[in-house]
Amino acid sequence: MRAEPSERLALFLRANDEEEAGRRYPGLLRALVSGGKSRPGASEAAREMAGQVLTVPAERSGHLVVLLGLLAECGEPELRRNIRAGLDHYLKLLGTVRENTPLGAALVYLLAHFPEDAASILPVARSGFLDQDDLSRLERCLAVFTPETPAIGRSWPSPARWRLSDAERDHERRWLTTLTRDAVVAFWEKDTRTLLAYMGAKAAAAISTRQVESEAPDEILPVRAPQATGRTSALFDKYAPLFRCPACGGRLVRRGTAITCRDCAAGYLTDEGYLDLSGTAPGAGDQIAGNSPLYLSRYEPLLRPAFLRVNGTNWSGAVSIADEDAYLIDHVRPAAGPLLDLGAGTGRWTKVLASHLGGERIIAFDLAAAMVRRLGEVVPDSLVMRGAAGNLPFADGTLGAVNCWNTIQSIETPYQTIHEIGRCLGRGGTFTMLTYRHSPDPLYRYFQQRHESCLGVTSFDPEEMREALSKAGMTVMDQYTPGSFLIITAVRR
């Protein structure tokens, strides 16, 4: 028989030490919440938790505060009232936080759910020792929406990190004029949900490990607009036998600077320095259509590390950029044919592969037009292509290797993409992939799922991924799963 929330709470509170409390915590979580909704009895338990946060050890109060924030997200009026009734207790706790602690991370997450109490919360938060990232996230979640200056799409992972140049502000103002008010409000609300998921994940990781890691990113570097080169046609000629028309599967031929299908006469673009076989308008694959220039210079130093922290549970930096570089160099083993860097993004790891194998052996491939334009500058000796991962424009067995690094979770049809990779990969060629698995921690998994739903990504069950790879004709040779990463090397049979 399932124990009531109040019984589970009593067991948690009576635990003899923090190790025992940690063992009892998952049972309390299951008793309170299921599928993002509160369970019967959760409201009464929340009222008791709100009254207990000042009387238990700091480690245990952090656990209770995170649960109260999670329950506040359920949105039920009585439940929310019972949680909000403890506001004075939460603020008193916040006033005791003297450094970047797990309890502080938990309190920021909880208090961010009560914008109606901003006038009480913010003076305490600003007078304490919260770091600039936590404070700016709290301020943003408590802020009132203003349609004139909504700061859309630049609050995650921390509003404090989004310092725009005059040119970027001009671009943002022009972009906002293209949106309806409903679209602006939807973006604002999505930004809030994404921040709450990030804050919840940070708090859950902190109370689990009993430490808070630094979020400081590297310096943001300016991005120069790449110049179109005349190499696209020459590199196309080199690999012409490999290509197939994504519309009909026919052979592609070049006539002057134009690429056309010999069978259906479909034409493809090469006039921006890359080969466009996507069949979609530029901007269709960008994260926020029309606003991508704001993201391009911030992707590697700011956005990507934040994504790895949440989805990979990489708050301690267990997987570093140097680790990623070393893994690729050690595991990418092309057979005959070029290496396809699928979802190459800004080209950070494409450049590593090009340095390792030679740029002319690399095909850099992405759907986002802003990313593809950037690739032309990063790997000028490689063929740069725009296309859809679920319908790769290559003949069977023609690729020497495929790399898909931190990408497949963002593709709408990941298993279809795995099938396509297996179809195009030549016998003995390697497929390397960095993506994410479901967190084994049920509390952290909740925030990981919330974060994924906001960003339109997913994580995977490792066994299901191995089965998909096997069905696509590939055998897993190496699987590495630090945190909630899923890093795999497979070989085409």
278-322: pLDDT as tens digits = 877 665 545 444 445 678 888 888 999 999 999 999 999 999 999
Predicted pLDDT of residue 369:
85
If phi > 0 it is left, if psi is from -120 to 50 it is alpha, else beta; for residue 249 that is left
Among 283, 316, 305, 307, CA closest to 175:
283
Mean pLDDT of the chain: 91
Which residue has tokens 């990313």? 371
Among 84, 62, 117, 147, CA closest to 443:
62
Percentage of the chain modeled with pLDDT above 70: 93
- Mode of pairing for the β-strands spanning 474-480 and 485-492: antiparallel
Is 425 in contact with 431 (CB distance < 8 Å)?
Answer: yes
Among 78, 8, 90, 4, CA closest to 43:
78
pLDDT digits (tens, 9 = 90+) for 33-70: 998 899 999 999 999 999 999 999 888 999 999 999 99
Domain 231-492 sits in which CATH superfamily?
Vaccinia Virus protein VP39 (3.40.50.150)
Tokens of 110: 């909880």
Q: What distances in angstroms separate CA 77 from CA 71, 124, 437, 456, one per listed residue?
A: 11, 26, 34, 28
Question: Per-residue confidence at 151, pLDDT binned at 50, 70, 90?
Answer: confident
Predicted pLDDT of residue 230:
54
Q: Say how far apart CA 295 and CA 327 lie, in whole Å.
A: 27
Predicted pLDDT of residue 219:
47
Q: Say how far apart CA 63 and CA 450 lie, in whole Å.
A: 19
Q: Say how far apart CA 223 and CA 219 lie, in whole Å.
A: 13
**Does residue 375 or residue 341 have the better pLDDT?**
341
Question: Per-residue confidence at 227, pLDDT binned at 50, 70, 90?
Answer: very low
Question: Per-residue confidence at 235, pLDDT binned at 50, 70, 90?
Answer: confident
Torsion of the alpha carbons at 144, 150, 151 and 152, rounded to the nearest 10: 110
Beta bridge partners of 432: 403, 489
Mean pLDDT of 164-173: 88
Which residue has tokens 């709290």? 138
Burial letters 312-351, b for 16+ CB under 10 A, else e: bbbbeeebebeebbebbeebbbbbebbbbbbbbbbbbbbb
What is the widest separation between alpha-carbon atoms in the chain? Answer: 79
| Pick from 47-56, 165-174, 352-361: least confident | 165-174
Cβ-count burial of 459 within 10 angstroms (0-12 exposed, 13-18 middle, 19+ buried)?
buried
Predicted pLDDT of residue 84:
97
Question: Per-residue confidence at 222, pLDDT binned at 50, 70, 90?
Answer: very low
What are the start and end residues of each CATH 3.40.50.150 domain in the chain?
231-492
Predicted pLDDT of residue 175:
85
Mean pLDDT of 459-477: 98
Tokens of 368: 């986002």
pLDDT digits (tens, 9 = 90+) for 75-112: 899 999 999 999 999 999 999 988 789 999 999 999 99
Predicted pLDDT of residue 296:
81
- By residue count, the chain amounts to 493
Is 370 in contact with 347 (CB distance < 8 Å)?
Answer: no
Is 102 in contact with 207 (CB distance < 8 Å)?
Answer: yes
